[in-house]
Structures are given as C-alpha cells and as structure tokens.
Copies of this chain bind each other. A is one copy, B any other.
Amino acid sequence: MRAARLIESAGVVLHDALVHPAVLALARGRLVDVGKRYGKVSTEQRFINRALVEAARHHEVVVRLKGGDPMLFGRAQEELEALAAAGIEAEVVPGITAALAAAAALKASLTRRGVSRSVAFLTPRVGRDESPSEWLPAAMGADSVVLYMAAGAAQSIAAQLIAAGRSPATPAALVESATLPQQRVLATSLEALASRELPRAAGPVVMLVGEAFACEDAVRQTIAA
C-alpha cells in the first residue's frame, strides 16, 4: 500500500519494461519506460542513473519502479549510489521477488522442516569478466536453489548440477511469468531437464531445484498448469 501511494504521488515514474499495466495505471505523473534489454547494459544503466537524478531535481517525489524486488538482481545499488552522489534522498520500498512469486505459484515452500533449511538465490547469467561456473558453489551448498533469469539455460544448469554431484532425481521446476495470467509451470526432475532443450520461453523464467519442490500429489493437483 505504501508503494501504491508513492506511485500515485510521484511527478515522474521511471519504470521497467515488465511492470504490470494495472500498476502503471496508478500513476498520475509522467510515465517513462526505461526498460533495459540485454546487450548494451552498462551504457543504459548510466542513462537511467542520470534520468533519475534529473527527475529528482524537478519533482518532489520520483518513483523508480522495478519488477520484483529492487535488492535482488535489480541493479538498485548503482542507482542508489548515483542519487547519494547527487545529494538526493532515496527510500527503498521492498517488493515481491520472483523466487517468492514462483514458490507461491508452485505452492512449495522454499524452506521446509526436515527437508530444506537453506535457500540460495543466484543467476547463471554471466557478466563481463565473470566465469560461467561461479554460481555452482552457492547452488551446491544450499538445500533449495532458485535461479533467476534461467530462460534458455535450464538444460545446461541441470547438467552442471548433476555433474557437480546433485542427484539426477532431484526435483526441479520451471515457472514462467510467475503470478501473471500467462503463468506456466513445469514440475519435473534435474535428469528430465538435462535430457532435452525446452522451447523458448515467452516470459521471464525462474528455475527451482531441491527436495522442497517434490510437492505432495494432493498439493500438485491444485497447481494451475
């Protein structure tokens, strides 16, 4: 509700590409789509930082509206530092991150007594100067693993987890466009994911791996497929 009030009161709302239209409809000020696509990311992040500072100089309230939560794979730090450097006060309003939306969609708790006492959130996406397997130690140390931006990478992730020692029978799930009307869920195993390439996804995909995602049949039957 705090988020809704801020969006309503903002003179400018700088928003990501994936924000739901019903949320954008709350805005009374100017809407600016600063959605990034992969590619020229660093240039565009600098552009967003500048646009934020500029907007804050001309309006009492400016909202930077991201999909999910800004503090998880959201590049919030770079924007907060740009604002701090310009002497502009900022507040962070938390949101629903994709992993929790996916867990709700699957009706599978990320932690579960006697089954999962730790969860790792990570991404297989590789930045410049980063090695492709850096995500493996975190994925092997935790009971449950949630991989962000996993579209197109499920087969490779599953194969690498099996090669590193996770049992091929480990439950694994893919959730595309979590909580949106076009949501799609695939609940399967690492072995099945490793065995074939999946069709290209239309929306963002979260991949979940671990015994916590072996839902009871009674629960699974109620999942909207």
Contacts and interface: CB of A to CB of B under 8 A. Distances in A.
Contacts of A119: 72, 120-122, 138
Nearest to A179: B94
A97 B100 CA distance: 9
Q: Name the prevailing secondary structure of the A interface residues.
A: loop
Q: How large is the interface on A (under 10, 10 to 19, 20 to 34, 35 or more residues)?
A: 35 or more
Interface in A193-225: 212, 216, 218-219, 222
B118 A120 contact: yes
A94 B104 contact: yes
Interface in A122-148: 122-123, 127, 129-130, 134-135, 137-143
13 contacts: A1-B1, A69-B103, A71-B104, A71-B110, A77-B109, A80-B107, A95-B96, A96-B96, A117-B135, A118-B122, A119-B122, A122-B142, A142-B142
